[in-house]
Chains A and B, each alone.
Chain A
């Protein structure tokens, strides 16, 4: 770690001089196997589940085929934790330290990250390990199979949370239309000050609010709080999975910005680090161009967009045209949606040679156009709603039957029926009452899936 230590301090000093603002970061060198597992679990120690085993297998296969190489992983927090692969050369590590500082700056200041850390805590690595231990304890008491059944359901609904409603939510109001609660909204306040209609027997009785009062997209929260027969330990696992999802959301929703920001800073810090020997600098900058490049190998066309490259290019443009202060403001306030829609302009898209293509069922792939609006939406398409179909709880019947609804108009088409049924089967083992889900079939006609 000698060379790492040698430059780490100087790089940090330089970073702070350039305005990077971050919590201290602990660096640790770890073996390649550790890096691989982090890539699978998303966290160093996470709850056990067989589905991670499947990903592990794929990762092993891909790793053998030399597809992916992981240099580092960073976990936000105070202190932040950065794990660097032992396979990195010292030159690579110089670049990676600078890259990590960019991430640390981002995760301390970006609004989504800030909020999730305030809710989940500034120590996600320890927290997830604690979750894993609690789940292992539950398995010791209730048996592996029962815990696995809970995780089957909870993890399959992992991304069905409502981060904007907050991690710790108030319960639903018991009654409808409670006029005594004065609103802060001036219009509401004025409306409420109007003379109330004369009370009759009928209006005096307050009506119970339906559950949920409006469609609920936080399925994990709803199940944890309203499942008719959930044991406390089962609820605990649901809420645990939910909490980790709250941690994962900003990582997911700012990937282009975040990687771009870190890449911008590793490039800039290295460029300005006059203390680096020429050889180290050249090797490091070569690594930079390997990471931040649009095409794999010698290809001239890529069918996907490298977020490092895209983010890096957009940030360079922003800083060049609007200055660093504006860039920091964008970094604090935006997510990938705003970032791509506002700052990936037509000129830059042309410069980067972005295009839209269509892949047909017969295998043909044809370039369609370079329309900037459509391009942006194509880039963002996989990021909507945490990357999952919009499914929400519509109603819970008096007998406990759970009614789910897929918003197929938002998603543009219906659910994969067989998979949806399997998910409902997982959930049924915990909900323990019938579940129905409305979606549309291939012909666009409404279709209901029923389990239980």
Chain B
């Protein structure tokens, strides 16, 4: 059994050339790190670096795992033996100014001291996230959202050559010969059968998601970052869920504009807040491009909630009209400062809407809560879907 150990002196390869035990165990360590990362996902997705645009990976700084052993508490100061030309009282190294942070510099010898960067594919993260949510597929809205397409159905004696069903045609020939007896021709044009196409309406799984964001002066850079991080992960998640997901990005101050995805995550603005401008923009886009009969419409709106009071009625009316066409509306109130979340102008608008069922809101105060916010919105949805209310 141990021949492989004593190793022939012959051939060019020895047993130890065949694989690296260290590399094998290092790979296992990396696997464990990934498992650990999965448990820390909420923390990771709040990492704003993902918004850089175009990247399909997230870089996460990680510590090497430590295999724990019993160890004594580190002493205040430690004594040890040294060697060389030094006599009692000599100071070999002067006290350092930044004493507490000093250990980090020489971390290489101390397990757990080295940080390395783990690169995770965004697709993997989204897979893990949605696995955790265990969302059923969001369903098509009850009622006639349909899509027409051609399907194969039945056979015809005429048709295009490309749809000839050879097997079926042979069966017809066998039947006919059997009926006609010995003298029957082996094959005739009457035997031919062609597959038939018909137009059929099928429920659609198309969806359009509007991401509307308040970029007015009152939203600080941090607020915007928070909103964008939230949107980023919602986009990733919904893309996973829908075969054909269309996204529309809208940013507003007193006016509203539509943006490309890349630009949207970079956008910033100044000025006052008129929420209705964004809602009108959304309605406008729905009217021109997305027939609510054929699309599930989702709207997410992020703002600090400080809408101008004069806009109250206009905004309420616009929201009402959106509510009529949208499957769901989510409002994320960004409340990173000292403001009291959930008691603002905009929050009040959505509260009215929420009573009708298809809206929800969440107060987001820090990046760690992004995942909680997503969970709040989407588990709500799935619960609604699992108890279909009669139309």
Taking beta carbons and an 8 Å cutoff, which residues of A are in contact with B? Answer: 26, 28, 30-31, 33-34, 36-37, 40-41, 44-46, 48-62, 125-126, 129-130, 133, 148, 152, 155-160, 294-295, 299-306, 309, 352-370, 375, 378-379, 381, 388-389, 391, 406, 411-417, 419-420, 422-423, 426, 442
Contacts and interface: CB of A to CB of B under 8 A. Distances in A.
Contacts of B89: 366-367
Interface string B261-272: 000000000000
A72 B57 CA distance: 44
Contacts of B32: 50
Contact of A58 (B21, B80, B108): B108
Contact of B80 (A40, A152, A303, A370): A303
Given A50-B29, A357-B92, A367-B90, A56 B22 contact: yes
Nearest to B111: A54
Contact of B21 (A48, A126, A159, A414): A48
A88 B71 CA distance: 37
Contacts of A157: 69-70
B28 A367 contact: no
Nearest to B113: A58
Contact of A423 (B20, B68, B95): B68
Given A49-B28, A301-B83, A412-B72, 15 more contacts: A30-B16, A41-B22, A53-B28, A54-B29, A125-B5, A156-B69, A158-B69, A300-B84, A303-B82, A355-B88, A361-B76, A362-B96, A362-B99, A364-B94, A415-B71
Contacts of B356: none
B68 A302 contact: no
A220 to B, nearest CB: 13
B355 interface: no
A356 B16 contact: no
A125 B81 CA distance: 34
B21 A156 contact: no
27 contacts: A33-B20, A36-B22, A44-B16, A48-B24, A49-B25, A50-B28, A53-B22, A53-B24, A53-B27, A55-B22, A56-B23, A58-B111, A59-B22, A126-B2, A301-B84, A302-B83, A304-B81, A309-B83, A357-B82, A358-B77, A358-B79, A362-B95, A364-B93, A365-B93, A367-B87, A412-B72, A413-B75
A196 to B, nearest CB: 44
Contact of B86 (A130, A152, A301): A301
Given A295-B83, A303-B92, A355-B88, A388 B70 contact: yes
Contacts of A159: 69
Contacts of B1: 130, 133
B388 interface: no
A295 B262 CA distance: 58
Contacts of A363: 93-96, 99, 102
**Top 9 A-B pairs ranked by shortest CB distance?**
A56-B22, A53-B25, A301-B84, A363-B96, A51-B67, A53-B26, A422-B68, A53-B29, A364-B95
B23 to A, nearest CB: 7
A414 B74 CA distance: 9
Interface in B303-320: none
Chain A interface secondary structure, helix, strand, loop or mixed?
mixed
Interface residues of B, number: 60
Given A303-B92, A419-B71, A422-B68, A358 B5 contact: no
A354 B80 CA distance: 11
Contacts of B95: 360, 362-364
Given A423-B69, A423-B70, A356 B79 contact: yes
Contacts of A366: 89-92
A391 B72 CA distance: 11
B29 A41 contact: no
Contact of A368 (B16, B26, B76, B79): B79
B95 to A, nearest CB: 4
A34 B16 contact: yes
Contacts, number: 238
Nearest to A49: B25
Contacts of A352: 83
B74 A56 contact: no
Contacts of B69: 156-159, 388, 419, 423
Contact of A62 (B14, B67, B90, B108): B108
A368 to B, nearest CB: 6
B83 A416 contact: no
B7 interface: yes
A366 to B, nearest CB: 5
B167 interface: no
B260 interface: no
Contact of A54 (B64, B86, B99, B102): B64
Interface string B25-55: 1111110100000000000000000000000
Contacts of A28: 7
A130 B20 CA distance: 18
B149 interface: no
Contacts of A442: 73
A129 B108 CA distance: 30
A353 B27 CA distance: 45
A219 to B, nearest CB: 9
B181 interface: no
B178 interface: no
Which of A50, A59, A413 has the most chain B CB within a 10 Å cutoff? A50
B96 to A, nearest CB: 3
B86 A367 contact: yes
Contacts of B121: none
B85 interface: yes
Contacts of B30: 53
Interface in B81-128: 81-96, 99, 102, 108-109, 111, 114
B84 A50 contact: no
Nearest to B33: A50
Nearest to B108: A61
Contacts of A51: 25, 29, 67
Given A37-B22, A62-B108, A305 B67 contact: no
Nearest to A371: B88
Contact of A302 (B6, B84, B114): B84
A52 B25 contact: yes
A197 B64 CA distance: 64
A56 B86 contact: no
B72 A413 contact: yes
B67 A44 contact: no
